[in-house]
């Protein structure tokens, strides 16, 4: 599984941040590693949105073999919360999608 991390202009894409994102995504999606070929993570800061309360946004897009890409978005007050929330949402979405695919076969 390839994990690509992209950051917006207001978030510094340090090696530490990239390592943290990679670890969170790998831990969350470990059981789907054979099916997920790539995960793209987009972390941005949206100043002015909702009065600044939940201004960190994490979008994760997973590409599954033989399936359309799946994407989720999480807004949170901190980058870590946004990353963890998006990873949890993506895990549930992949679980739901792969379950439906098994039922169709």
pLDDT digit string (tens) for 35-54?
999 999 999 998 765 555 66
- Would you call 78 helix, strand, or coil by DSSP? coil
- Please tell me the predicted confidence (pLDDT) of residue 102: 61
Query: Is 21 exposed, middle or buried, given 0-12, 13-18 or 19+ CB atoms closer than 10 A?
Result: buried
Q: Residue 15: CA atoms inside 13 Å, Cβ hemisphere, count?
A: 0
Residues in the chain, total: 105
What is the share, in percent, of the chain residues with pLDDT greater than 70?
88
Domains of the chain: 2-104 (3.30.160.100)
Phi then psi for residue 101, to 5 deg, are -65, -40
């Amino acid at each position: 599984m390839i994990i690509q991390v992209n950051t917006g202009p207001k978030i510094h894409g340090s090696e530490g941040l990239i390592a943290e994102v990679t670890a969170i995504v790998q831990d969350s999606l470990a059981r789907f590693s054979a099916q997920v070929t790539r995960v793209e993570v987009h972390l941005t800061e949206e100043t002015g949105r909702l009065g600044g309360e939940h201004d960190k946004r994490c979008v994760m897009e997973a590409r599954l073999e033989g399936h359309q890409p799946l994407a989720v978005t999480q807004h949170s007050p901190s980058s870590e919360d946004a990353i963890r929330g998006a990873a949890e949402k993506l895990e549930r979405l992949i679980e739901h999608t792969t379950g439906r695919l098994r039922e169709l076969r």
